[in-house]
Structure 1
Amino acid sequence: MNMNALPDTAPGFDQPIAVLKHCHDRIRKQLATMQKLLPHLARHGADEQAQQAAQAVIKYFDKAAHLHHADEEENLVPMLQSVAQGEDAATLAELVPGILRDHDEMDAMWQQLHEELSAIADGSGQALSASAVEQFAQRYADHMEREETQIAPMAKRLFSAAQMAQLGEAMQVRRGILPAPAAGEAVAALRKDYGQDTLNEADVAADPFDQFNSWFEQALAAEVNEPNAMSVATVDADGKPTSRIVLIKQFDRRGFTWYTNYDSQKGRQLAANPHAALLFFWSELERQIRIEGIVERTSAEESDKYFNSRPLKSRLAAIASAQSAPIANREALEQHYDAVAKLAGDAPPRPDNWGGFRLTPQRIEFWQGRRSRFHDRIVYTLQPDGSWKHQRLQP
């Protein structure tokens, strides 16, 4: 094994695609080193030359290979997805899942080889699985060929000079060559292109409640994180808006219901101005639903039924907390809770200032993320006769 070969001159980051190709060439060299190690170990065991070779392979695949994968996963592929159209977009849709799967599976293959190479590197072992090496090398070879024959040419063809510079800068930041931008500056460059689904006028339900129910069931099936979480925006008597996240507890054709303290900030604002807006955002499905309408309190019977269905500690917390009112510290809050718990018993009644709000919608908009911020938006508006009309909005 030749351990004294001079390294190839690497291209500059002003040519990021060439840098990625150079990374592939270095991977091929490390794979070749592992393949040469197999007969060397059989003849010489874990001698000094074998130890040095094992150390070099470990150093590369433990660090540089992960940086290379991150370049592709976090920058190259998302940037391509944001600009590719037509056949290019279709090609990416076919290739990208396999590329990402390769990264995960090659990482898993590397873990077995890492253990064997580590023993060789410190002279404590000399076993290296020939089948594992060949499987790892072949998987990488096939993977790199797909990227070099399809992904790299597409990037060269589609990326502007500014996008090439952006890619090169991101790669330098990842390697510590350039400092990471401050969070306030970096936020402008955050990009996530959407493309999971579409939303067409011909496909949506005639009734927005049916459409909401369909999307909500899909969110449940997709195991979206807290699909029942929604933002509730209200305004005070002076027209100043506020918003917060609450959990929806019921929806049907009467409207969308949640429960709270009527003396809270939102309760007081709704008493002064009953107009409100709800927002569901399900990032896993690249969807949001905006709902606007008039809010009213649920009946005492409905509020009692829901209150009594809650866990005891939740009921006690609702009684103990004067929601939105200031308090000295957490200790005072917990002391108040303990005092309530001692007096309330196991079946505390619902306090009069706690209950449900129901928003009766007048406008419901369904939003599906699409590529290049060219999103699908279908809005339903309530008509004077009680029917619903829907139409497309421009993104």
Structure 2
Amino acid sequence: MTSLLPDSAPGFDQPIAVLKHCHDKIRKQLNTLNSLLTHLPVHGTDAAARQAAQAVQKYFNQAAPLHHADEEQDLLPMLAASTGGSDAETLRRLAPEILAQHEQMDLDWHIINSQLDKIANGSSAYLSSADVARFCAAYQAHMESEEGVIAPMAKRIFSQAQMQLLGEAMKRRRNIGPAAAQAGGIALADLRLDYGRASLSEEDTLGEPVAQFAKWFSEAMKAQVNEPNAMSVATVGNDGRPSSRIVLIKQYDESGFTWYTNYESQKGRQLAQNPYAALLFFWPELERQVRIEGRVERTAPEESDKYYYSRPVKSQLAAIASRQSQPIASRAEMEANYAAVEAASGGKPQRPAHWGGYRLKPERVEFWQGRQSRFHDRIVYTLQADGSWRKERIQP
């Protein structure tokens, strides 16, 4: 069902050819998925089926995310910085589509991966033909778009030096090269990057921190920063011990910064004890950080309803089925809980009372711009008693 012979791959001195080679390997794995659909009803989870499931999982869990990162973090930003005229217009149209396709394919893969888990361990021979068809069709259309437009554009526009930069970035992502081969790795103290892409002065910043955040967030989006909406949320409970985690911001405006979660999670329990938190956005591609501190409150139920019912149904079900941060015996028990909730919901899950939004109302906001020799720019806004903001520079 799958070939065990290694493919002859181009070198990273030909990065566009490497990306095309990745597409060829994706097509082979998609063929394997389709072969499994006809194999399983006849042979069940025999050795060939288990081996095929494991091979598909290995590729899409390990190699495919690296391929997506090559495009999102290097290829597309390099093209955006190099194109003009009709090429720039084509890229402005296609790039958001490519990023959205990556996100949707990741979601579709999550569904198929859970089915392949059971095939790989021999506990189930079920593989949804509809899920596989949707996943394969999305990938085929995605690859045709990239091979028909993006790859030819890069080959036409990029200089040899740019090709080398792209190839080196792809090698680093895969830990390929002399540094990766050194015994013992690299000392943490030696991992030092000198910044120097931009500067930040008091005159550069707007009068209100939310307006300044909106400006920087827009620039992060245009620069195609990887997940610019990802932020660290740090909370502290009654025991005085801080904890942090990454969540996705869903809204920001003058009223604050909003995300959604389980109120009974660790962060929910800590916020009930101490309603203050700190947020951190880090956009390494722009050498920028934004730190936001303030008081947190729950969003109104109608706001939580509006967002909850805008989510995919499977995400709605997961919010009901999971007792976030609570121990559970096994993945199988989690999936059984999900199946029970799905069966009981009748396809129309209702937002549980323990799930909803939090809004941090900012009291202190810092904008950090990396500079050379660790002499960084830091501009801080502090909320005053009369509701105005004081803006000042602080030392790095």
The TM-score with structure 1 as length reference comes to 0.56
C-alpha separation in 2, matches of 1:261 and 1:173: 42
Q: Is this contact kept in 2: 1:173–1:180, CA < 8 A?
A: no
Q: Which residue of structure 2 aligns with residue 369 of structure 1?
A: 370
C-alpha separation in 2, matches of 1:335 and 1:175: 44
What are the superposed Cα offsets for residues 154-202 of structure 1, whole Å, 9 maximum, x if unpaired? Answer: xxxxxxxxxxxxxxxxx997896xx455x5xx11101111111110001
- The verdict on how the C-alpha distance between 1:377 and 1:100 changes in structure 2, with shifts beyond 3 A counting, is farther
C-alpha separation in 2, matches of 1:347 and 1:209: 36
Q: Which residue of structure 2 aligns with residue 356 of structure 1?
A: 357
Residues 128-167 of structure 1 correspond to what in structure 2 (within 5 A)? none
Q: What's the CA shift for 1:105?
A: 10
Q: Does 1:101 align with 2:102?
A: no
C-alpha separation in 1, matches of 2:166 and 2:249: 40
Letter in 1 for 2:234: A
Q: Which residue of structure 2 aligns with residue 236 of structure 1?
A: 237
Q: Does 1:389 align with 2:390?
A: yes
- The verdict on how the C-alpha distance between 1:230 and 1:173 changes in structure 2, with shifts beyond 3 A counting, is closer
Tell me which structure has the larger Cα radius of gyration.
1
Q: What's the CA shift for 1:98?
A: 8.4
What are the superposed Cα offsets for residues 208-234 of structure 1, whole Å, 9 maximum, x if unpaired? Answer: 111000000001101111110000000
Which ranges of structure 2 fall in alignment gaps of 5 or more residues?
1-157, 169-176
- The verdict on how the C-alpha distance between 1:344 and 1:366 changes in structure 2, with shifts beyond 3 A counting, is same
Q: Which residue of structure 2 aligns with residue 289 of structure 1?
A: 290
C-alpha separation in 2, matches of 1:319 and 1:105: 43
C-alpha separation in 1, matches of 2:276 and 2:285: 29
What are the superposed Cα offsets for residues 106-150 of structure 1, whole Å, 9 maximum, x if unpaired? Answer: 99xxxxxxxxxxxxxxxxxxxxxxxxxxxxxxxxxxxxxxxxxxx
C-alpha separation in 1, matches of 2:262 and 2:181: 51
C-alpha separation in 2, matches of 1:316 and 1:180: 45
Q: Which residue of structure 2 aligns with residue 225 of structure 1?
A: 226
Q: Is this contact kept in 2: 1:296–1:358, CA < 8 A?
A: yes
SS in 1 for 2:361: strand
- The verdict on how the C-alpha distance between 1:303 and 1:370 changes in structure 2, with shifts beyond 3 A counting, is same
C-alpha separation in 1, matches of 2:386 and 2:181: 63
Q: Which residue of structure 1 aligns with residue 64 of structure 2?
A: none
Q: Does 1:277 align with 2:310?
A: no
Letter in 2 for 1:365: E
Letter in 2 for 1:331: A
- The verdict on how the C-alpha distance between 1:189 and 1:332 changes in structure 2, with shifts beyond 3 A counting, is same
C-alpha separation in 2, matches of 1:379 and 1:105: 36
- The verdict on how the C-alpha distance between 1:105 and 1:203 changes in structure 2, with shifts beyond 3 A counting, is closer
Q: How many residues align?
A: 231
Q: Which structure 1 residue ranges, 4+ long, deviate > 4 Å from structure 2?
A: 97-100, 102-107, 171-176
SS in 1 for 2:245: strand
C-alpha separation in 2, matches of 1:342 and 1:373: 56
- The verdict on how the C-alpha distance between 1:319 and 1:172 changes in structure 2, with shifts beyond 3 A counting, is closer
- The verdict on how the C-alpha distance between 1:255 and 1:174 changes in structure 2, with shifts beyond 3 A counting, is closer
Letter in 2 for 1:358: R
Percent identity at matched positions? Answer: 61
Which ranges of structure 1 fall in alignment gaps of 5 or more residues?
1-96, 108-170
Letter in 1 for 2:205: V
Q: What's the CA shift for 1:347?
A: 2.0
C-alpha root-mean-square deviation of aligned residues, in Å? 2.3
What are the superposed Cα offsets for residues 225-254 of structure 1, whole Å, 9 maximum, x if unpaired? Answer: 111000000001111100000000010000
Q: Does 1:212 align with 2:273?
A: no
What are the superposed Cα offsets for residues 286-330 of structure 1, whole Å, 9 maximum, x if unpaired? Answer: 000000000000000000000000000000000000000100010
C-alpha separation in 2, matches of 1:105 and 1:345: 49
- The verdict on how the C-alpha distance between 1:363 and 1:310 changes in structure 2, with shifts beyond 3 A counting, is same
C-alpha separation in 2, matches of 1:315 and 1:350: 7
Residues 1-395 of structure 1 correspond to what in structure 2 (within 5 A)? 100-101=161-162, 103=164, 179-181=183-185, 183=186, 186-395=187-396
- The verdict on how the C-alpha distance between 1:267 and 1:288 changes in structure 2, with shifts beyond 3 A counting, is same
C-alpha separation in 2, matches of 1:312 and 1:106: 40
The TM-score with structure 2 as length reference comes to 0.55
